Chains A and B, each alone.
Chain A
Amino acid sequence: MSWIKPRDVGFATRRHLAELGSGARLFFRLLSTLLGSLRRFGLIRDQIHFLGNYSLVIIAVSGLFVGFVFGLQGYYTLQRYGSSEALGLLVTLSLVRELGPVVTALLFAGRAGTSLTAEIGLMKAGEQISVMEMMAVDPVQRVLAPRFWAGVIAMPLLAAVFSAMGIIGGWVVGVLMIGVDSGSFWSQIQGGVDVWRDVGNGIIKSVVFGFTVTFVALLQGFEAQPTPEGVASATTRTVVVASLSVLALDFILTAMMFTI
Chain B
Amino acid sequence: MQTFPPALVELNRLSFGYGDRVILDDVSLRVPRGKVTALMGASGGGKTTILRLIGGQNRAQSGTLLFDGQDITPMQQNELYAARRRMGMLFQFGALFADLSVFENVAFPLREHTDLPEAMIRDIVLMKLNAVGLRGARDLMPSEVSGGMARRIALARAIALDPELVMYDEPFSGLDPISLGTAAHLIRQLNDSMGLTSIFVSHELEQTFAIADHVIILANGKIATQGTPDEVRQSTDPLVYQYVHALTDGPVRFHYPGVSVEQDFAAERIA
Using a CB–CB distance below 8 Å, which chain A residues touch chain B?
A: 122-123, 126-128, 130-131, 133-138, 142
Shortest distance between the CB of B161 and any CB in chain A (Å): 8
A130, A131, A136, A137 interface centre (most CB from chain B within 10 Å): A136
Query: Which of A123, A131, A136, A138 contacts B91, CB < 8 Å?
Result: A131
| Closest chain B residue to A131, Cβ basis | B95
Which residues of chain B are within 8 angstroms of A128 by Cβ–Cβ distance?
95-98
- CB within 8 Å for A127 and B95 given contacts A134-B57, A136-B81: yes
A9 CB, nearest partner CB in chain B, Å:
21
- Cα distance, A134 to B57, chains bound together (Å): 8
- How far is A130 from B158 in the complex, measured between Cα atoms in Å? 13
**Given A128-B95, A128-B97, A130-B57, A137 and B89 touching (CB < 8 A)?**
no
Q: Is the CB of B93 within 8 A of A136?
A: no
Q: Which of B55, B93, B95 has the most CB of A within 10 A?
A: B95
Name B residues whose Cβ lies closer than 8 Å to a Cβ of A: 55, 57, 77, 80-82, 84-85, 87, 89, 91-93, 95-98, 108-109, 112-113, 154
Judge whether B95 and A130 touch: CB under 8 Å: yes
- In the complex, A134→B88 CA distance in Å? 7
Q: A134-B55, A136-B81 are in contact. Are A127 and B112 (CB under 8 A)?
A: no
Identify which of B55, B95, B96, B112 contacts A142 (C-beta below 8 A): B112
User: Which of B85, B87, B93, B109 makes the CB contact (< 8 A) with A126?
Assistant: B93
Question: A142 to B97, alpha carbons, bound, how many Å?
Answer: 13
Across-interface contacts of B89 in A (CB, < 8 A): 131, 134
Interface contact A137-B109, CB-CB below 8 Å: yes
User: Inside 8 A of A136's CB, which chain B residues have their CB?
Assistant: 80-82, 84-85, 113
With contact pairs A126-B98, A128-B97 given, residues A135 and B91 touching in the complex (Cβ less than 8 Å): no
